A and B are shown apart, each in its own frame.
Chain A
């Protein structure tokens, strides 16, 4: 096994009744990276993470965390966790939650350090139950980082946060990676993955269908997006060959195309008054949609 791999799933399958959640999945987390795990509903993201954390046992394959079985406390003492849909004890204050979980680790940050790092100092003495939804996520994040983890698992960390809080968390995550932590992030905010991730993996139907940097993922798909202001109608453009979809955003049309040059040429000919023409490579969102659609089509054909 590679020393650079902090967590690894090798050929892992996991079934829940009739549902095959993971199907021979190979997935690794490398030292010093921020790995974004993407995938549609039921792709197996949460199952993969819960296996890495030792919350479940695989039906087949091997799981390791810091080269140990993840059930071992010695492995989990190097890990911080922020899970979805968790309610911490409502009567304890934020500082107390940090203090309590810090006691599980050999060399945690002090509560003061954690509060400063996660911008939670003003809320330190608030009972968890009195916090807003976004503040609760911030408190859970503080609990996740308090043990000075080498590897941090964050499952949808910024759900419910306002823009400012999300920005502060992104800043903290970048700082943690700079200081040597590795992070596994599942998110449905694709711009979050695009902004933070060193590497992206896409899961669909329990299998890994793509892996690479954000740029590599975008290069995997051929789609491009044309944006313009035109007098041509939405319906007319949608019938052109090579146009996959058209969306209107105020005065601008966003046209997703397979062959950008051909459609751009036709637009310029058809509308001499065309303005604000821009051609973009596919973003992570388009790449993700295309990759997962392909997998669905393969599965149903």
Chain B
């Protein structure tokens, strides 16, 4: 027998004015951001680590090796920017979704009249806000200590690209968060995050024999786009030792891959959530009626 779907006229008493509906999205985003800020284990590493590592490795160490080469400085800035925005996307989505699934909060939100898109948009907003803060923290040392020479337009373009570029990593993190438990999510995210970072050629050029592996990492495509926006010439023309993709390829293709990754993993995650939310409520979770309490 098939389930029957009922269809009735809306009684009109439960409609939300547009302004209030927008308020629901805004409130969800606001409190998502507040939560992230109040979680030191999340906020401190993702806000401080990129700037600390960029200054140490991207400016002090790499600068001394390249003898102030301006192209090299740009490459370092772009590479570390990509590193900076990857973390909040993957961990912010993955860990929090896994935790909210395990803790029943996702089921509660589905039962409450939260606009469904608010859940994802709030987390995306939180991630992109973190990405924006990280970009600011990287731009300041880049321009002062790192001798990075970029026009204001280029700085804004790279920043905007990296802020939007955090979305594919959100989608991958989201996908992992819908599959892993809250206890195992961090391990699974690291399993994706670390290879994505290292095999994307962000920190050192891969040997030619394994370079095709770069194509598997979204970080590779975001980095390529960033270098293109920053006006870095084709890296094949650079001296050996420069970390980064071997060539820019087509920016359109890179953007297409990033959009594709976002859509693919986002849809897989949403599908997974739709399929598993109900299983969390299987009858095994019901409490027994205690005979002791009957006395």
Contacts and interface: CB of A to CB of B under 8 A. Distances in A.
A159 B287 CA distance: 11
A99 B27 contact: yes
Interface residues of B, number: 54
Contact of A41 (B103, B111, B289, B293): B289
Contact of B286 (A43, A58, A78, A89): A43
B16 A46 contact: no
Nearest to A140: B108
Interface string A97-140: 00111011110000000000000000000000000000000000
A19 B3 CA distance: 18
Interface in B33-60: 34-35, 38-39
Interface residues of A, number: 71
A25 interface: no
A55 B27 CA distance: 23
Contacts of B237: none
Contacts of A59: 1, 3
B151 interface: no
B104 A87 contact: yes
A164 B261 CA distance: 54
Contact of B20 (A45, A100, A103): A103
Contacts of A63: 6
The 9 closest A-B pairs by CB, nearest first: A285-B294, A41-B288, A87-B103, A103-B27, A86-B104, A60-B1, A91-B38, A77-B14, A56-B278
Interface of B: 1-8, 10-11, 13-17, 20, 23-24, 26-28, 31, 34-35, 38-39, 103-105, 107-108, 110-115, 277-279, 281-291, 293-295
Interface of A: 13, 16, 19, 21, 38-47, 50, 53-64, 66-69, 72-79, 81, 83-89, 91-92, 96, 99-101, 103-106, 147, 153, 156, 159, 188-190, 247, 249, 285-286, 288-289, 292
